[in-house]
């Protein structure tokens, strides 16, 4: 491969270097945080865009593979969040602090942390330009920048989230702590609405998981009688896999929850306590305004703007990769995993884990000058569907929306064991294995539990 040079293309926003050093020393082992004023120009074997689950997992693998100083991670945030925990944070079963880690600890030692965001990608020149004007040249590029939360696509949503204690959202670090406060403020009963936007969305089960926990909270508090709970979803189904959809229909019937399919949230008026939905597929459009006493907003989501406008994107704005090997369909030295890739599976941390194992094999083939072979991604993903405090349906499935279950029991049933899996086991795996690039999902466990019979 051609040796490439990292050069400066524009002014750099100054950082307080002493403060930055103190922050890193305070958290122990950490990546090198670039001091742009004193750095030496150098090439990178691998540039990773994004310091989330997929970015950290692959940066860890690449840092071990190539050694110190050969891998750069472009990530502007100071904190890494385990976002699947926010359902438990919003319902009061975990604290917000439980879900966070300083970014300097999440990014692997041996990688160089570029505390900046990507602005443009030029795959013809093997170059990423950052928001602060750095030009980062790469031999390989791994894109793992996640999804944008587009609250602004719902008129009045941001204002309501900032000003109305009845309006909450588990999808944002800025708002997740409002959810349990909204639970507690639901003293007089009334109507609680939980919205589900169009796909794509991080964990499609999340909007209804918090709803079930709210129902459980009301029952435990003796407040459920006389209150209405509505699940207004843009989709025509409650869940995309029939086995789990059937189980969830039983749950909502038992809990007396109202399902409104093909209802898309388009505006919120927090001064009146009103949420307006449009009926999907109706022509002319039919809008329905509902009063709320609690409103949980799941925002529309999309790939980041810089990615949508890059040569790497498909028509939908996602990194255009081969769904089996996660290698770009045009640029063979570009790879992607997680929420921003075009792989047609549900966007979850479980999918990231499985994708990381496959992508590691794909990159090994690429480094040998070979086409990917053998290990293929089957679309495995998982969604632990919490149905009440202490009960969870562990949904696991593949590209074809067929169950791909790990344990030798019917995972379509509510189980306490799966609650503990979600609440206690999965966070441990995430912090200690997944983001360190050492967890590729439960495939081996599945083979053991099912004696290798087609699983």
Q: Catalytic residue numbers? A: 203, 383
Secondary structure percentages of the chain, helix, strand, coil, to 5: 30, 25, 45
> Do 260 and 230 touch, CB atoms closer than 8 A?
yes
- Enter the tokens of residue 127: 């170059």
**SS3 of the chain:** CCCCCCEECCCCCCCCHHHHHHHHHHCCCCCEECCCCCCCCCCEEEEEECCCHHHHHHHHHHHHHHCCCCEEEECCCCEEECHHHHHHHHCCCCCHHHHEEEHHHHCCECEEEECCCEEEEECCCCEEEECCCEEEEEEEEEECCCCEECHHHCECHHHHHHHCCCEECCCCCCCCHHHHHHHHCCCCCCEEEEEECCCCCECCCHHHHHHHHHHHHHHHHCCCCCCEEEEEECCCCCCCCHHHHHHHHHHHHHHCCEEEECEEEEEEECCCCEEEEEECCCCCCCEEEEECCEEECCCCEECCHHHHCCCCECCCCCECECCCCCEECCCCCEEECHHHECCCCCECHHHHHHHHHHHHHHHHHHHCCCCCCCCCCCCCEEEEEEEECCEEEEEEECCCCCECCCCCCCCCCCEHHHHHHHHHHHHHHHHHHHCCCCCCCCHHHHHHHCCCCCC
- What is the helix (H) or strand (E) element at residue 88, kind and residue range? helix 86-90
- Interatomic CA distance for residues 235 and 225, integer angstroms: 28
Contact (CB, 8 A) for 267 and 275: yes
Closest CA to 192 of 235, 223, 159: 223
The β-bridge relationship of strands 134-143 and 44-49 is parallel
Q: Is residue 295 within 8 Å of 287, Cβ to Cβ?
A: no
């Amino acid at each position: 491969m051609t040796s490439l040079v990292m050069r400066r293309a524009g002014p750099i926003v100054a950082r307080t270097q002493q403060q930055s050093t103190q922050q890193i020393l305070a958290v122990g082992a950490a990546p090198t945080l670039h001091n742009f004023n004193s750095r030496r120009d150098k090439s990178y074997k691998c540039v990773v865009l994004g310091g989330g689950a997929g970015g950290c997992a692959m940066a860890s693998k690449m840092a071990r593979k190539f050694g110190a100083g050969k891998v750069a991670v472009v990530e502007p945030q100071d904190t890494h969040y385990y976002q699947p925990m926010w359902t438990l944070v919003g319902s009061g079963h975990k604290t917000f602090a439980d879900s966070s880690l300083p970014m300097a600890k999440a990014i692997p030692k041996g990688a160089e942390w570029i505390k900046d965001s990507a602005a443009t990608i030029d795959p013809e020149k093997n170059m990423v330009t950052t928001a602060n004007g750095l030009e980062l040249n790469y031999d390989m590029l791994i894109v793992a920048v996640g999804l944008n939360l587009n609250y602004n696509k719902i008129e009045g949503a941001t204002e309501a989230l900032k000003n109305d204690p009845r309006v909450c959202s588990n999808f944002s670090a800025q708002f997740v702590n409002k959810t349990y406060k909204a639970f507690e403020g639901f003293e007089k009963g009334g109507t609680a609405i939980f919205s589900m936007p169009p796909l794509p969305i991080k964990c499609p089960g999340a909007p209804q998981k918090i709803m079930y926990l709210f129902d459980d909270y009301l029952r435990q508090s003796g407040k459920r009688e006389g209150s209405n709970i509505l699940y207004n979803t843009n989709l025509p189904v409650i869940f995309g896999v029939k086995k789990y959809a059937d189980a969830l229909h039983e749950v909502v019937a038992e809990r007396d929850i109202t399902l409104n399919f093909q209802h898309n949230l388009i505006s919120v008026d927090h001064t009146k306590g009103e949420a307006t939905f449009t009926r999907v597929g109706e022509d002319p459009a039919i809008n329905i305004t509902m009063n709320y006493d609690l409103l949980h907003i799941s925002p529309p989501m999309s790939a980041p703007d810089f990615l949508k406008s890059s040569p790497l994107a498909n028509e939908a704005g996602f990194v255009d990769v081969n769904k089996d090997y996660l290698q770009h369909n045009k640029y063979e030295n570009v790879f992607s995993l997680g929420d921003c890739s075009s792989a047609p599976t549900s966007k979850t941390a479980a999918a990231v884990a499985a994708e990381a194992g496959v992508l590691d094999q794909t990159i090994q083939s690429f480094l040998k000058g070979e086409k990917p072979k053998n290990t293929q991604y089957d679309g495995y993903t998982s969604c632990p569907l919490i149905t009440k405090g202490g009960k969870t349906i562990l949904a696991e499935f593949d590209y074809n929306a067929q169950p791909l279950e790990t344990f030798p029991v019917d995972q379509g049933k509510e189980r306490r064991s799966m609650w503990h899996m979600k609440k206690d086991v999965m966070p441990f795996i995430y912090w200690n294995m997944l983001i360190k690039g050492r967890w590729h999902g439960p495939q081996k466990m599945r083979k053991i539990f099912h004696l290798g019979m087609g699983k």
